[in-house]
Structure 1
Amino acid sequence: MIERIWSGRSVLWLLLWPLSILYGTVSTLIRLIYQHGWQKSWRAPVPVIVVGNITTGGNGKTPVVIWLVQQLHRRGLKVGVVSRGYGGKSEHYPLLVSTKTLTEQVGDEPILISQRTGAPVAVAPKRCDAVELLLSSQEIDIIVTDDGLQHYALQRDREIVVVDGLRRFGNGWWLPAGPMRERASRLHQVDAVIVNGGITANGEIAMSLRPSAAINLQTYQTAPLSTLKRVVAIAGIGYPPHFFNMLKQHGVIPVAEIAFADHHIYNEHELISLLSEEQILLMTEKDAVKCRHFPQHNWWYVPIDAELIGSVVGRLLDDIESLARRNIVAKLTKLTKSTVRK
């Protein structure tokens, strides 16, 4: 129902319009307050790159964060990642993600990013606290924030927005009448717009999500997607049809497709009840991190990699690397001058 409302196929959005105006007004005021310095924001001593979106969920933001961290690692930079940790509840924050960290503490995405990139990941409702924890725990050249485009308490050096190229902006209205966190005009103020699927406009970066071979949760055995039969597909992500459609495009025709809410917390019995012994449960990698403590022999997941296309990609990475290198040189120069004075 909500997708029908947000896409404009249902006139029920009119009932939510007053709340939408309220949301948009508050959102705009918050941004203006920080822009004019009426509320102080904090600048980290290293460059900060925000990867976010202007619509709610399911845009492909986390694969972009993973891609960006991996690309910066290849350029020799020490990258740290911060996240709000949506859905997590810990006794204390900030929290540094480790192999013992539970999704119940930090949510699913920080653990996924940590596992895929090997980068240090810190979680806190206030991202400034997460940045400070990272910087105090190890040497970091640059920070990438998973989401946080609207978190203006943390100053940023570059903003990257990920857009769902198929759904775009729906009816164009703010939440809850539409999918927008901010107006589409916000895209004119960011440094890069990455479009996941669909058709890109001039200046946008085209992105596709490429699945790897499926991985068994229990044995870590790999198998080509096309070899998996009698599949029950599940997805607890922002927009589950993305996952189901991708499976079909790569030769997997599920006997059932079951969508869960984004960040849904699974339990063993819930998932076992979905299929018979001869069937295979196939899930997203994001779902798999929540099932790693009770894997079954017939449970598999699909890792996803972001592929960005075009000459703009290289320029974007060069620009971000240059930011980090200049900051490193500036710190070394300051340290040298301080040593000479002594």
Structure 2
Amino acid sequence: MDRFADRIKARAQAYVTREWQRRGAFAWALTPAAALFGAIAAFRRATFALGWRERVDVGVPVVVVGNVTVGGTGKTPTVIALVDALRAAGFTPGVVSRGYGSKAGEPRPVTSASSPAQVGDEPVLIARRTSVPVWVCADRVACAKALRAAHDDVDVIVSDDGLQHYRLARAVELVVFDQRLGGNGFLLPAGPLREPLSRHRDATLINNPFERALPPWPDTFALTLAPGDAWHLGDPSLRRPLAQFIGARMLAAAGIGAPERFFATLRAAGLAPATRPLPDHYAFRDNPFVNEPVDAILVTEKDAVKLSAWRDARIWVVPVEATLPARLIALVVEKLRGRSPA
């Protein structure tokens, strides 16, 4: 029953995502609700812009990596790459996140050994890949303050998502899109936009594995994600170049916001896997691959953090490395160095 429900959910998500790319009957029928959503969101933004509600400075500059659309766009690999770039520039970064599905009512630290069910899958992945302090809480102001109290050497905080968490003062805003861009241009629920495309930001990153031209927006950069050698879930010391999977009977599965991005990355590497899109943040309560007649199953790192107790020897994890343009890194560093910590 659970597997049937998961497939229905995945199909429903795919249908809505498809309809959000065009202005069909589905979208037009929901425009009254979108107008109401837009009015409420605009009023909320205005309360901060007019000073009716206060933005909180947590004492160090904050870089928000977020999106104005619903669904995954590649924020997590961007955060990981940005943390590495900031360390290379001489900063000591920390990361705050809401932690999708997190059960943390109060600010809570995340380590590489934390349970994804308790703190969210993406924060665990960030902690494993960066080894910097990572804290989760729905209240990002409280989260940032708790991180600083525990790590007084941290001099910049990267917020994984939180673009619409206006109470948290920020020095830099980076907005990440994938190949879907702003879809049909409508606000929720008629389209994928949480805020208008015209929303101010310091820079835009386009995660586009299909190599389409960048939109003519100011300060817009390409986000390059390159797959690395796959590692074995049961023994991470075992590594295989993706080319070694060519010709094998394989399945690619992804429980991320846009599974097709992962599949496109594998195809670009010369693979031709069967594919299994799963709902974003798929919980993997049991092994959905038990009856798959394949020799290898390729999954994302985000999914892999939830599979550590499994013993399916066919599962290999495909990491991706994000490359940030040097001009973007320079832009962020310049803005950070132009702000004195409180």
Task: Normalising by structure 1, report the TM-score.
Answer: 0.89
Q: What secondary structure does 1:232 align onto?
A: strand
Deviation at 1:315, TM superposition (A): 2.3
* Distance (whole Å) between structure 1 residues aligned to residue 56 and residue 139 of structure 2: 11
Q: CA deviation at 1:9?
A: 6.0
Query: Please, which moves more after superposition, 35-44 or 109-118?
Result: 35-44
Instruction: Kindly report which structure 2 residues correspond to 1:163-178, keeping only aligned pairs within 5 A, or say none.
Output: 163-164=177-178, 166-178=179-191
Query: What's 1:55 paired with?
Result: 69
Offset at 1:269? Answer: 3.1
Find the structure with the greater CA-based Rg.
Answer: 1
Candidates 219, 241, 249, aligned match of 1:224: 241
- Written as runs of structure 1 = structure 2, the 5 A alignment for 1:280-299 is 280-299=296-315
Give, in whole Å, the separation in 1 of the partners of 2:33 and 2:259: 26
Q: What is the Cα deviation at residue 99 of structure 1?
A: 3.3
Amino acid at match of 1:106: V
1:262 to 280, 300, 310: 280
Looking at secondary structure, tell me which structure has more helix per residue.
1
Give the RMSD, CA atoms, in angstroms: 1.6
Matching of residues 146-165 of structure 1 within 5 Å: 146-164=160-178
C-alpha contact 1:195 1:207 (8 A) present in aligned 2: yes
Counterpart selection for 2:117 from 93, 104, 123: 104
1:113-167, CA deviations, whole angstroms, 9 ceiling, x for partnerless residues?
1111111100001001111111111121100000001101111111111121x21
* Deviation, structure 1 residue 191: 0.9
- SS state of the match for residue 154, structure 1? coil
Residue identity matched to 2:229: A
Distance 1:215 1:320, change over 3 A: farther
* Contact map agreement 2:66 2:163 (CA 8 A) in 1: yes
3-state SS of 1:270 partner: coil
1:323: Cα distance to partner? 4.3
Residue 76 (str. 1) matches residue 99 (str. 2): no
C-alpha contact 2:233 2:313 (8 A) present in aligned 1 = yes
Q: Distance between the aligned counterparts of 2:108 and 2:314, measured in 1?
A: 33
Residue equivalent to 1:336? none
Match of 2:106 among 93, 100, 104: 93
* One-letter amino acid of the counterpart of residue 115, structure 1: R
Secondary structure, aligned partner of 1:175: coil
After superposition, the Cα gap between the structure-2 partners of 1:86 and 1:248, relative to the gap in structure 1 and judged at 3 Å, is same
State, as a whole percentage, how many aligned pairs show the same letter. Answer: 39
Cα separation, partners in 2 of 1:193 and 1:269, compared to 1, 3 Å: closer
Q: Does 1:190 align with 2:204?
A: no
- SS in structure 1 at match of 2:333: helix
Alpha-carbon offset, residue 320 of structure 1: 4.5
Matched-pair contact (CA < 8 Å) for 1:47–1:323 = no
Q: Which amino acid aligns with 1:179?
A: P
Structure 2 unmatched runs, 5+: 1-14
Q: Report the Cα distance in structure 1 between the residues aligned to 2:44 and 2:221, rounded to whole angstroms.
A: 29
Separation of aligned partners in 2, 1:239 and 1:269: 21
Q: Assess if the C-alpha contact under 8 Å between 1:122 and 1:130 holds in 2.
A: yes
Distance 1:88 1:314, change over 3 A: closer
- Separation (CA, whole Å) in 2 of partners of 1:99 and 1:67: 17
Aligned counterpart for 1:116 among listed residues 116, 129, 144: 129
Secondary structure at the aligned position of 2:289 is classed as: helix
1:281-311 Cα offsets, whole Å, 9 max, x none, are 11111110111222422111111111233x5
Matched residue, 1:306? 322
Query: Amino acid of the residue matched to residue 276 of structure 2?
Result: I
Q: Is structure 2 residue 252 aligned with structure 1 residue 233?
A: yes
Structure 1 residues 142 and 271: CA distance shift in structure 2, 3 A: same
The count of residues paired between Structure 1 and Structure 2 equals: 319
Structure 1 residue 64 and structure 2 residue 74: aligned? no
Judge conservation of contact 1:209–1:306 (CA < 8 Å) in 2: yes
Note if contact 2:112-2:125 (Cα within 8 Å) is conserved in structure 1: no
Residue pair 1:212, 1:305 contacting (<8 A) in 2 also: yes
CA distance in 1, matches of 2:111, 2:298: 26
* TM-score for the superposition, normalised by structure 2: 0.89
* Pairwise CA distance, 1:242: 0.5
State the SS of the aligned residue for 1:113: helix
Q: Is the 8 A contact 1:84 1:124 kept in 2?
A: yes
Query: Aligned pair in 2 of structure 1 residues 266, 75: CA closer, same or farther (>3 Å)?
Result: same
How far apart, CA to CA, are the structure 1 residues paired with 2:30 and 2:86?
Answer: 42
Q: Aligned pair in 2 of structure 1 residues 290, 22: CA closer, same or farther (>3 Å)? A: same
CA contact (8 A) 2:93 2:132 kept: yes
- Which residue is 2:289 aligned to? 271
Superimposed CA distance per residue, residues 5-60 of structure 1 (whole angstroms, 9 cap, x where no aligned partner)? 10116321112112111211111111111111212221110111101111112211
